[in-house]
Amino acid sequence: MEIYYMYTKLRNEFGRDAQFDDSASEVISDIRPEPELQEDYIERNPVTTTVQCVPEQSEHEANTQQIIYTNRGFAHKEGGWPKEVDCTEMEHVIRFRKKIEKDEDYIKTIASRAGEVEELIKQNNAIDIYEEYFAGDAADHSSEQPYAKTLTVFRDPSAIKRSASYISWNPDVNNRKCAIAYSILGFQAQPEGMSKSSYIWDVNTPNKPDFELRGPSQLCCVNYNPKDTNVLSCGMYNGQVGYFDVRKGHTPVDTSPIEKSHRDPVYDMAWLQSKTGTETFSVSTDGYVYWWDTRRLGEPVEELQLKEKNGDTILGAVSLEYESIAGPTKFMIGTEQGTVLMCNRKAKNPQDRVGTAYHGHHGPVYSLERNPFFPKYFMSIGDWAARVWMEDLKTPIMTSRYHASYLTGGTWSPTRPGVFFAIKMDGELDVWDYYYKQNDPTLSVKVTDQPLTSFNIQDTGRLVTVGASDGSATLLELCEGLATMQPNEKQSISQMFDRETKREKNLEARAKELRNAAKRANRGNEEYEGPDDHEMEVLEKEFLAATVKSGVTFDEVSPLDAPTRD
> In angstroms, rounded to a whole number, what is the distance separating the alpha carbons of residues 531 and 494?
53
Q: Which amino acid is at 539?
A: L
Say what the pLDDT of residue 561 is: 43
In a shared domain, residues 558 and 453: no
> In angstroms, rounded to a whole number, what is the distance separating the alpha carbons of residues 276 and 227?
9
In a shared domain, residues 457 and 560: no
Say what the pLDDT of residue 564 is: 42
Say what the pLDDT of residue 563 is: 42
In a shared domain, residues 304 and 434: yes
* Domain residue limits at 247: 148-490
Say what the pLDDT of residue 559 is: 40
Say what the pLDDT of residue 495 is: 93
- Domain end residue (candidates: 444, 473, 490): 490
In a shared domain, residues 201 and 346: yes
Say what the pLDDT of residue 500 is: 92
Of 316, 431, 416, residue with least CA distance to 366: 316
Give the 3-state secondary structure of 333-395: EEECCCEEEEEECCCCCHHHCEEEEEECCCCCEEEEEECCCCCCEEEEEECCEEEEEECCCCC
Pair 432, 386: CB distance under 8 Å: yes
Q: Which amino acid is at 299?
A: E
Angle CA(467)–CA(471)–CA(474) in degrees, nearest 5?
A: 40
In a shared domain, residues 401 and 539: no
In a shared domain, residues 152 and 247: yes
Position 421 in a domain = yes
Position 461 in a domain = yes
In a shared domain, residues 413 and 549: no
Give the Å distances, CA to CA, from 383 to 150, 207, 261, 363. 27, 35, 29, 5
Position 452 in a domain = yes
The pTM is what? 0.71
In a shared domain, residues 476 and 547: no
In a shared domain, residues 426 and 285: yes
State the total domains in the chain.
Answer: 2
> In angstroms, rounded to a whole number, what is the distance separating the alpha carbons of residues 306 and 343?
9
Pair 254, 280: CB distance under 8 Å: no
> In angstroms, rounded to a whole number, what is the distance separating the alpha carbons of residues 384 and 399?
10
Residues of the chain with pLDDT under 50: 552-566
In a shared domain, residues 404 and 543: no
> In angstroms, rounded to a whole number, what is the distance separating the alpha carbons of residues 457 and 455?
7
Say what the pLDDT of residue 464 is: 95
Position 38 in a domain = no
- Domain end residue (candidates: 474, 490, 506): 490
Over residues 123-152, the pLDDT tens digits come to 888 888 777 777 666 666 666 788 999 999
Dihedrals phi, psi of 213, to nearest 5 degrees: -110, 110
Residues in the chain, total? 566
Of 268, 320, 279, 331, residue with least CA distance to 301: 279
CATH of the domain at 324: 2.130.10.10
Question: Which residues 6+ apart lie within 8 Å of 373 measured at CB?
Answer: 417, 490, 493
> In angstroms, rounded to a whole number, what is the distance separating the alpha carbons of residues 164 and 452?
9
In a shared domain, residues 328 and 415: yes
Burial 111-141 (b: 16+ CB within 10 A, else e): eeeeeeeeeeeeeeeeeeeeeeeeeeeeeee
Over residues 252-279, the pLDDT tens digits come to 999 999 999 999 999 999 999 888 889 9
Position 289 in a domain = yes
Give the 3-state secondary structure of 423-492: EECCCEEEEEECCCCCCCCCEEEECCCCCEEEEEECCCCCEEEEEECCCCEEEEEECHHHHCCCCCHHHH
Position 185 in a domain = yes
- Domain end residue (candidates: 441, 474, 490): 490
Position 532 in a domain = yes
> In angstroms, rounded to a whole number, what is the distance separating the alpha carbons of residues 268 and 169?
15
Position 31 in a domain = no
In a shared domain, residues 200 and 292: yes
Q: Which amino acid is at 406?
A: Y
Number of helices (H) and strands (E) in the chain: give both, helices first: 6, 28
